[in-house]
Structure formats: C-alpha cells, structure tokens
Structure 1
Amino acid sequence: MTKTPSPSSKFPFILFLLHVFSLPFSVNSQSINQEQTILLKLKQGLNNPPALSSWNNSPGSNHCNWIGVTCRDNSITELKLNNITIANKIPPFICDLKNLTHVDFSYNNIPGEFPTVFYNCSKLQFLDISQNRFIGPIPADISRLSTTLEYLSLQANNFSGNVPASLGNLPALKQLYLIQNQFNGTFAAREIGNLSNLEELSIGFNNFLPWSIPKEFGQLKKLWYLRMDVTNLMGEIPVELGELVDLEQLDLSTNNLTGKLPDNLFLLKNLRLLYLYDNQLSGEIPRNIETFNLVEIDLSMNELIGIIPEGFGQCQNLNHFDMYANRLSGEVPASIGRLPSLIGTRLFRNNLSGILPPDFGLYSKLKEFQVNDNLFTGNLPENLCAGGVLDGLVAFSNNLTGGLPKSLEKCNSLRWVHIHNNSFTGEVPAGFWSLTNLLTVIIHDNAFYGEFPDRLSWNLSRVEMSNNRFSGRIPSAINESTNLMVFLASNNLFSGEVPVELTALRQLDSLFLDGNRLSGQIPRRIISWRSLTTLNLSRNQLTGEIPPILGSLPDLTVLDLSNNQLSGGIPSEIARLRLNFLNFSSNQLTGRIPTGLENSGHEDSFLNNTGLCGINLRNNCISGPRSLKRLPARLLAMIIVLCGAILLIVLFFAFFAFKDYQRRKHAGDLSSYKLTSFQRLDFTESEILSNLTENNVIGSGGSGKVYRVDINRTRSCVAVKKIWNKGKLDQMQEKEYDAEVQILGTILHLNIVKLLCCISNEKSMFLVYEYMENRSLDRWLHGNKRGSLVTNSVHHSVLDWPRRMHIAVGAAQGLCYMHHSCSPSIIHRDMKTSNILLDSEFNAKIADFGFAKMLGKQGEADTMSVVAGTFGYMAPEYAHTTKVDEKIDVYSFGVVLLELVTGREAKEGDNNTCLAEWAWRQLIQDGNRIDNALDEDVKEPCYLDEMMMVFKLGLMCTGTLPASRPPMKDVLQILLRNGSLQAYKEKIVQTENDVAPLLTATTDYFASKKGSRKKRTSDITDEVHSLASIV
C-alpha cells in the first residue's frame, strides 16, 4: 500500500522552492542598489554638475530614469553626459558599472591626459570624449580598450604627438574620429589600414609629419567616409582608393598631393562629395566619369590641364561644381548648364574658352556664377536668374559681348555684378539699377551706353562704370542711394551740371567724374560730404569759382579739378586740407596761391593758370596794388606808423585785462591741478577743464566719461577721459589710471592711441588723447544691430572688406609693437573691437590700457591678481589661472578677426556659445563651407579668398592651448603678405620703423607647412599654405 505524504512533511520542500525562486530577484535588487550608489558617487566625483540634479536617492527614485542614463534589463548600459559643463577628471570607478557599453562625455571641459580608466570597461562599444580639454599623446597601450569597441571619437581636443600603431589592434572599430587636435608626429597609417571593419575615418586638421596615403587603405572595403584634409599629405593618390566601392565622401584638400588623378576614382558610383582642392595635382581630369551620384566636387587650386569632361553633365544631383584656379582649357560642356540641382559654379582663373552654356540657370536655382579670368566669348546666358536666387554674377576679364541680360532687371536676389573688362554693349536695363538687394555694380571698361537711371537702389554701396559711353545728366535722385560709398564714372559722356543732391551722400568716400562733358559751376553748397576722401572732376567744362566750402571737408586727401575753365582765386580754406594730391592746373585761376599750398609737394598743381602768382611760379606776386603805389611815400609811412601805434596800445591794454580776468577766474580751480605732458601741446589745462560739459560727452563706461574738446586756436580736437570720482579715487581706479599713464606715456606707435597729457588732483583724474574721428570699430561693425549709432558721429553704413582688412593690419601692428618691440613686453588684457579706435582715414589705434600689464621677463608668464577682460574675448586659460602671457591678447585678436570676417559679435555664436566656439564648430564639427560663415554684407567674390584666409587665421589665434596660437609677429606676417592692401602700401611702409623687427625675415615660421583654403597655389606664399595645418 502506498503511503501518502503528510502535509507536515511537504512544508520544508515548499520553503526550499520559495527560497530558490526568490534568489534571482534578491540578486537583481542588490545590483540595482550597487549601480545607484556608483552613480551617486560618480556625480560627486564630477563635482555635482547642476544638470545631474535628478540624480538622488529619494524614496522611489529609479536610477534608470535619471538624465543621461539608459538601462537594459534593469542594468545600466549607456551614460550620455555630454554638454553639461563637466570640468573634473573622470573618476576611476566609472567602470564598476559592469554592463556599460556606451559612454558619451563630449562637449565638456574635462582636462588631463587620455582617460585610461576606460580600459576597465570590458563591454565598451561606444566612447565619445570629443570637444574637451584633453592633452598629451594617445597612450601606446590604447589597444587595452575593449576589443568590442566600435566607435571612438577624440576629435576637437589638444592631443599631440603620434597616433600609435596599437589603434590598429581594435578589431571591431568602425568609426574613428581624430580631427582637430594638435598631433605633430607620425600617423600609423598602415596599421589603421588593417582595421577591416572601419567605415568612417576622420583625421583632418592635424599637423602630422609629412606622410603619404598607404596602399593598405585599399583594404578598408567598408569605408564610406574618409576625411584627411590639412594633414600634410604628400605624394600621389594611390589607385587603391579607387577600389573602395562604398566610398561616399572623400576629402584630401589642402595638402601637398602631386601627380595625376586616378582614373578609377571617378568610377565610384556611390561617391557624393569629392574635395581635392588646394594641392599640386596635375594632368588631365579622367574622361570616363561614372560618379553619377556626386553632390559636390571641388578640384580647385591645382595644376590640372585639359578639358572639363562631358560626363559631369550626367551627375543629376550635382549642386556645387568648383574647378577654379587651374589651367583647364576648352569649352564648358553644355550639359552642365542643364543640371537640375546646380547651385554654384566657380570656374574662374582658367583658360576656358568658347561660349558659356546658354541653359545656365534655366533648370536649377543657380546662386553662384563665377567665371572671371578666362577666355569666354559670346553673350551671358539669358536665364541666369530664372530660379530667383542668384546672389552674384562674376564674369570680369573675358571677351564677352552683347548686352546685360534683360531678365536681370527682375532678379531681386542679386547682390553684386562684376562684369568689367569685357566688350559688352547696349543699354543697361533700367530696372536693374533699382534691384532691392543690389550692393555692388562693377561694369567699367566695356562699351555700355545710354542715360543714367532716375532711380537707384538705396542699398548700393559701390558703382564703377568708368570707360563706357554713358551719357545724359547725373540724376538728382542719386541722393536716394544713401549707402553709396564709391562712385567711379570717369571717361563717359555725362553732361549738365554736377547736381547739388550728389553732395547729400554722407557715406560717399570716392567720387570720380573726370573725363566727361560736365558744365556749369561746382556746387557752392555741400549738404553732407563728411566722409569724402577723393574728388576728381578734372577734364570737364566746369566754370565759375572754386567753392571755399571744399576746404571744410575733413577727410579730403585727393582733389583734382584740372583741365576745366574755372576762374577766380584759390580759396584760402583749401590750405587747411591735409592733401596727398592736389591738381588745379590748366584752368583760368587768378590771384595769389594761399600760403599753405606754396610748397614743393604742390609745385605742379597750378601749371597753365596765367593769372596765378606765387613763390614757385613765374608770376611771383612781388609787385603791390597800384592804388598803394599812387600814394606819396611820406603819407604812406605816416599812415602805417599811426595804425601800428594804435594797434599796440589796444593790444597792451587788452593783454593785461585778459590776464587779470583769467587770473581771477581760474586761480582757485587750477591751483590744485597738475598737468603732465607726454607730447608737445597746443592747449592749456584751462581749455580742457572749461569744456568738460554734458554737451561734449561722447561716451560713458565703467571707468568714466569721455568728452570731445575742441581746441579753437588750432581748429583741432582732443578726447578727454575722466576717471569716475566719488570723493577720493579708490584703489582699483588708481591702478587703472597708473597703468594707462605708465604705458601710453612711454610708448609711441602709429597704431596705438596717443596719450597727450594727464591732468590730475587729489579727487579727479583726466587723460587727454588724440581724437579719433570714426570712434570705435565696435560701433561700425555692430552699431546698426543695436540701434545705438549717433548720426553725427558714426556712419550708418557697412565697412567694406578692404577697410576691414586695413583695420586688421593696423591693430596687428599695434599689438606686435607691444609684444615684441617693447621691453618689457606689454599685454593689453582687454583687446576687443570697442578698444580699437579709428581715425578719419580708418587707421586702427589700440586704446584703453587700464588693464594692461608689463611682463617681468620676455616670454615669461606673469601672475595677475584680478581677472580682466570681456566675455567672448577672454582666452580659456584666463578663467582658470592667474598666470598669463601675450597669448591671451592673441586669442582676443583672433576673436576680433572673426568679428571682422563674419559680422557677428563676440558673444554671438549659437546655443549660448561665443563666437570663437561657433566658428570652430562651423568648420570642424559641422563640416560647413567656410564661405557660408562669412559676412554677407561684404562677401564679394573678389574678396572671398582673402576673407577665408582671415577666418582661418582667426581660428589659429583662438586655439584652446596657448602654445598652439601663433605670436603676433607671425599673425602680422600673414596679414601683410596675403592681404590686398594696395591702397594702404604707403601707410604700411611708414610704420616700418616702428615694427621693423617684425617685417624682416627673422624666422620662416610657416616655411614647411601649407594651408590657405581656396587660394591658388601659384599666387600665395608659404605662409598661407601653412595656415590651415596650424589650425
């Protein structure tokens, strides 16, 4: 009989089962508690970032729901702690999270060397520590990272040295990003070529030792993204790259590659982006084109010859087609003009010929069309603006004929037209001149004819139409073009009078109307020519007298009224002008030449005026008026003696009365003031102090007010800075005052504002400077945005690029003098656009030395007790250390360069970033084209290369590590040797004595490097070639 177990005998077994089933849950519960403890410890180790405030052990809190934490099966697998302002090193216990596969610490400020703590994360597949402050070499044992690692991003740090061969021992690696570091050693190319699973490789913008692309790269069969721009590559492009059938993006630009283009490179059917510009590639472009998925191709700035292959016309997705600055010849295939996605075509500086494809713009929304400096003939394509977005038409220096396409008069997107030096004829369509966005029209040296339109675009800033056959009157409505700065209309057939409305153009800088048929008088009333520097009305039929009001134009330096029929005397007011060139010859002028104009510099300025007399002319004005000759000599002598005696008596009494009045009025006030002069002065302290009224205030800041004081005796003016006073001056104000006086009182340079004197007593301090007519660079660049411009002192206009470049050079010369020619060196510590002042000729002068510091020894850092500077301009290290040197000024100057070239303010990036960080991300992280970041108001095709060079120079100067920034003498070398500064050559030469050590060939800092993006190799120096590799 079978025995049935009793209930009591089953009870222990049931308890055992319950225990067994409960075990997994107990283990899981314990693991969760451990992970939560590790996270809280990690938060503390990272100095409790505010973004991790949700990480707490409150009741019911589940760490898998915390910000940046991802779990799988209740265990942490991912930590995404990017962009939360972490500034501490990564704690070593992070890998106590045993199931961690993904870690992202990008966009923080983590310092130190490569974090080897991640060697202990055995399951790690994804590691991103980009955009931090890591330094030093990549460890040689980096292969100790998990063998399952697929993604590794170290980009945008400050790693240096070699890229070790051990990286090739991470077999699972698919994506490797090393772009934008400071690597200056070797790159383990062959070992990297053995990573058979690699899909993306980005190592651009690193100054490796010269190297070549190894054949082993042909083994990377899964590679679709390869970026190696600005890495000091040499040699030929191996044919093995053409065997990477999955390749979609290839960037080898700005290197030293030579030889021919591999034929099989253009057989890659998946290729979308191909950048090979700025190398030394030669030979012809392969004829067999099968890269039909191309979106962008840029082969510019090489030494390519031959024709443009027809096959490019089958690339239906192509939107940017750039082949400029080569030696290509033949015709442009007509099929390229029919590409439906084409946005930009840049073929300038080649030997291309034939007619331009007539369908350009008809099938796509064409925005850029630049074909200048070729041998094209025939007409411009009629439908260039059919898409309604054409930004610029640049076709100068060809053999083009016909008229300006009539369709352009409805092209409201058009901003600049440069078609000079051709053989165009016919009338310019009337509607063209009034296009809303039109900024620049350069059509000189053609055969256009017809009358000038009654209405011009209010936005026009530059019109160059010389050497054509335009006729009729200059319309009075020209005053509606309030932004017009340059009007060149020489050698046409204009007639009638010079309209007085023309003088209402307050921004007008240069006016050339010479070689026309203008008649009548020069306007005797000038409404607002405050900015005019050049006036040329020669070779016309003007009559009447020279208006005296011309002598009141403050900035006029060139005046040519020769070869007219002007009569009467030369107004004495003309002698007040600071003229570099004067020509009144071949007129009918009479009388004496004003004393101020009788010098050797103007000895040829008055020829062929038979009625003029002067020291340097045949008629020397010795004989007196006839009426005086008729008087008896005795009577004449008595009259003279009597008048002289009366005059002496009057002056005697007036002198003593005035002295007594002055003594009584100012004795009490002036007795307490002390004047210390640093220059020869033409004023007294009483003239300064008596004019410090609210009506004369021109600025106010943290340290005090600034006044404009007119010196009546010399018809000049000075700027007076009054340091705030609240009773006695505090210690900080005294330090600022002492720094300014100590520095500006001992240095003299054309690009540093001149301190004339200081006036002080126990309670007040005044600094007297030369007056800067055009105020600060900040007001010119950003004043319109803030709506704060004062109309009578600052112009509502855009600084054109040549002036911006001139300003950049001037400011660089001033900083160079401070850093390299002063002993001890001087650092400014607050370099910014509001501290760069501009005189009447837009010469830059550095000002405000209240925070400046003289260094102890040349090249050594100094300790600062107070952090000075302005947000957006402060170097990163300045916020973390009191040890500073000249490199903080270099950083600030780099920001100024970025402001000049982008038009943005220093604090105006995006997503709460400053301008410098925004610029780095534009180029490096986002991979944007540099020209997309440039200021649209001045981005004309003829300046594009130079602007991109300055953008990259700004990036060089704003490098994170001080050691990576070039010294100011090298910054100046780049600006001087690469800028189009023809208009300012003489001024630069004048400053050579001040900066002579900087302009001599002391050290060829950039001799072996290369870098300026988008610049023809044969046209630039070694310094420009190095630019991007230093970045």
Structure 2
Amino acid sequence: FLSNNQLTGSLPNLTGMNLLNYVDVSNNSFDATDVPPWFSSLQSLTSLIMENAHIQGKLPVSLFSLSQLQTVSLKNNRINGTLNIGPTFSSQLQRIDLQNNFIDAFTQRAGSTVQIILIGNPICDEGVTQSYCSFPDQSNSTYSTPPENCTPIPCTSEKVSSPTCKCAYPYSGNLFFRAPSFSAFGNKTVFESLHSKLMETFKSHGQPVESTSLSNPTKNSNEYLVLNLQVFPAGIDYFNRTGISSIGFILSNQSFKPPHTFGPFYFKANEYPYFAGLDKGSGKPLSTGVIIGAAIGGFVLFSLLLFAGVYAFRQKKRAETASKKNDPFALWDPNTDSGGVPQLKGARSFSFEEIKKCTNNFSESNEVGRGGYGKVYRGNLPNGQMVAIKRAVQGSTQGGYEFKTEIELLSRVHHKNVVSLVGFCFDQGEQMLVYEYITNGTLKDGLTGRSGIRLDWMRRLRIALGAARGVQYLHDLANPPIIHRDIKSNNILLDERLNAKVADFGLSKPMGEPEKGYVTTQVKGTMGYLDPEYYMTNQLTEKSDVYSFGVLLFEILTARSPIVNGKYIVREVKEAMDRTKVLYNLHDILDPIVAANSAPGSVEKFADLALRCVQESGDSRPTMNEVAKEIENIMESAGLNPHAESASTSNSYEGKGKDHEHPYIKESLFAYSGSFSPSRLEPK
C-alpha cells in the first residue's frame, strides 16, 4: 500500500512476492512503463490497484486467471488494445475498472457477472450504450447485516432495531480498513465473517453485547473501505460508561483482529449521549436518583477543585519556604524593619564598612583562623571591645538557614555560660557573625592538650557545672526555650578565667510549650553525642540534649572522643564499670590526670550522673536542672564552692606559655553538623 507518496523512478519489480495479495501504488510519479510481466505472477493477488501510474500497453489475459483475483483498478493510465479476460478468469473476480485509458475493444464472455467500467476509453465513444460504458448501479453493492430470523419492529425516538429485532441505543462508529483484499461489496460472505469475528471478540472479553450490525460499505477518498458499525447492548436499552469505554478500548487498541481479508484497520466512534438510560425522546423528567447523583457528582468535583487549589497553594508556600531556607535574608531590606530581618534582642547589625574598619580591612595580621565556613578575624570595636568576626565565603550559601537561626537565638540568650552575640553583618552580599572574643579555645582543645592548658579534676568540675548551667538556661529560662541539638566538647568554649560558655547555635531548635515533643523531618547532630532515642523516633526533646551532655561528662572523665577506632565511649564505660571496686574499675579508661587527682568518691558520683544522662529512655534521664544540682553536690563533697567564680586566670596554669590555636578555627565556629551516618552509631 504505497499510494499517494510522490514516489519517483522505475516502477518496483514485485516478481517472486507470491504471498502478496494487495497492491496499491496509485498516484505516484513513476517513470512511464509497459505493463509489467509480474502482474501475472503474483499467485496470491486479490487486488491490483495502480491508478495514474503511467502504465502503457495491453493487459495480458493471464492476469485475470489468477485464482484469488477480485479487483483490478487501472484508471487513468495508457492501457490500450483489446480487453480480454479469457475463458478461465478467476471465479472471485468481481470488478475491473479501466476508466480513462485507450481500450478500443472488449471481448465479452457469456454468463460473466464481472463488473467492468470502461468509461473514458475509445470503445465508449458517443452513442455506445453498453453497460460497461456507464457507471454501475450501486444498489446491489451495498450490504447490511440482516435480521436474525425475526421481523424488525418500529422503534421510538433515537432507538434502533437490532439484528435480533430489539430496540436499543447502539454504540456506533466507522471501521476504516486500509487494504482489504476484496473490492466488490456485494459478497456478503466476507461481511458475515467480520460480523462473526466481532461477536466472538466481544464475548471472549466479557462485554455486554447482544449483537452487531454492519452496513453501508463504501470507499473514501483514500480508497479505504469504510463500514458503519453498530453495537447493541445486552439486556438493557443502553450502555453505561464502563461498557462504552471497554468496547472502545477493544476496537481502538487493536485487541480486535478482523479476518485477514480485511487487513489493517482503525475505528472512529460516534458520540454516545445515552448514558444512564437517558431516553431523549421519552419526555420523562429526570428521576430523583439522577438528580441526587448529579448533585453528589458536582459536590465531589467542587471538592476536588478545592483540594487542588489548597494543594497548589501549599506547594507554593513550601517552595517559598525552601527558597527562604536557602537565602533566609532574601526579603530583608537593611534600611527597613520589614521582610526577613532577624528578630534581634541585645545585638546589632553592622555595616560592611564598620566591620572592614575594625578588622583593619580584613588584614592577614587580624586573621585568627579559617575553615569550611570562611575566615575568622579579630577586631576591635570603637568602644574598645574585642570581638571575633566570622566571615562566610562570599557568595557561599553554606549554612544560610543555620546562620539566621544562630543570629536570632544568640541575640535572645544572655547568660554568663552562653557565648554572647554582639551582632552581625548582612551587607554587600556578606554574611558575618560578630561574637564576644573567647581567649582559651574549646573544651576539646583543653582535654586533648592542644590549648596548652592543664585541666585538673577540680577545674573540670567547674567547667562541667558551667556548661550544665548554660544548657539549663537554654531549656528553662530562655524565651522561647531552646534545644541545642549539638552539645559536644567542641561547642563548649573557655574564657580567660576558664568559665565554660555554650556555643554554636546553628542546629538549635526554639521550642514553644506545645512543642515539647517536636517531631523532626531530619535528624541532625554529631555522631557519638547523638541521642539514640531521637535518632530512632525523630522525636526531639530537651532530654536529647541531656543524652549529649552525658557523653560530654564521659569525655571530661576520659579525655577521649566519643568514638575512637569504632569503640563507643558509653559502651566502653558500661562494660568496664564495677561499682564494688575503686573508681568503679575505670582506671584504664579514665584520664590519668583525673585518676591521680580526684577527691574520694567524686569520680564515682560523676560517672553515676553521666550514666543517668545516657539512659536509653529519655523519661529515665534527669533534667538539666537536676544535672547542674548534682554537679554542685559533687563539688561540695570535694570541698569546692560551686557558687564561686574561678579565682585565677589561665595564665597561672601549666603550659600557658605555649602557643595555641585560636578557638574559632575549630568545629565550634566553622562546621554546622549535618546528617550523620546511622550505621556508625553504636549506642548501647
């Protein structure tokens, strides 16, 4: 089937294609050619259609002897000579159309019923009245599925009488067959085979079809065979939507396979307006059920539209929230109080020029550290206050949300054991935090010796108490209460008198009273300090900080990181502990400084407190207020006054003369801890 494709060159040679039954290469631009000899060699040929194909010469008699040949259409060529179909023409031959050629004679055969059309040939000059010189009567070429042993009855309105003589609303449309192997439409056998195949297919798919009707076979402008199809419902007058959908699916997705003589097809359905038994000609009012159904349907549709609107609005808000997290100051105009300006209490906003001036234009001599976040500079404000300025890498969005969180939270907290935020700078694309200057580094540095400060047992007790009071303040006295989420030795800073100050609020979560059991969408913290209950339930409470503080107490006892070579400090202490022995049998785990200089019983009480803090269940852990009071009791039993400030500065401690790194180089000021790897967490 290659008609109407503007093909050029020589006419294809189809010799040897013995299974080919349909040939149509009409209306192309092939070179002029004599009648091809392969015309007579295609033993399975049923239809030869080569209109306007520039063919010339005489048709061989052998062509019409092909046993399966039904149709020959060679209109608008240069066929000449005498048309002779021979005495042994095919019994299936039904139509020969040679309009507008140069046939000048025709040898008729007695008893032949073959339809021959020679209009436009010399043989049909004016005055010739032979049947082949006029268009054939089409009345005998139509087909319609006959009634099945019954008499059709008149039907009202738009109902149609089915082949079983029942009135119903059929599902109708047209079947388009692109390349049928027959051309004459008077042979009812081929249409009956199609009808049988349709019914067989519908029944095998369980469709509610009683009968089908085929009618009005015609050829369209593309030479497709077009058949009108009507499908009648079984048991009722109409199909429901499911039935129409299923039947349409079978006919449209090629589940139905017609007899091979029809070839490939497609189905084009007519609109079906008769759903739910709607009888357009009955004049009956809609039933109550229909009205109720329509009302429910309308309500459902309205609800769906409302839901879609709400969903779209929420998605938009989520997108805006995500955008704000990436750039939390996007809506802030530094010259106004609107938009995304941080809500500050006791801290101020610095301009870029002010920061530039107090750091001597960010000179290298003022640089005291650097890390993944950026650089830290020492600066002096006009009032003489020394500050540490943490400057983010310009253009970096790292820690954007945490940056704003830390500003807002730190500006609200004012306690001697919490690092004070002096202010911040958000100007000319810069993100900078301005802190009070802390001179003696982190507790981590002190425990490992990197700071050059020797922390004996008594000093460690004071540091533990100061840190406990700082966290207690966040939980109980800050407004709103704050869960730190990242308590660790790197986030406890030591000032010039070795007072502990809780730092780094990048992961902190402000907590209102109704949110005491806040469920997070992403667990955050530092591996080793992280509360396993928080990890397993995603439920964040102040007891999560208590667990982390318990790990910190073990770190103060041992001067070890929580996880070393895959060994978890909490598990190590539990496995080694024996309360019947001196120092609970922890000699091999304790820092030698602690083991050698502790007051009797204080280490044991300290270890007991740490174990209470790391209980598996948060409900079994003490509050930070209780933790602070217990440390006070331990200090009093060791002969220390828990309410007295450290009397000496760090200059009097051993090793102070040794140079040490600035505290802001460390994690406490550079790394905002993100998600952790659960597979490496080993709390037991």
TM-score (norm 2): 0.41
TM-score by length of 1: 0.28
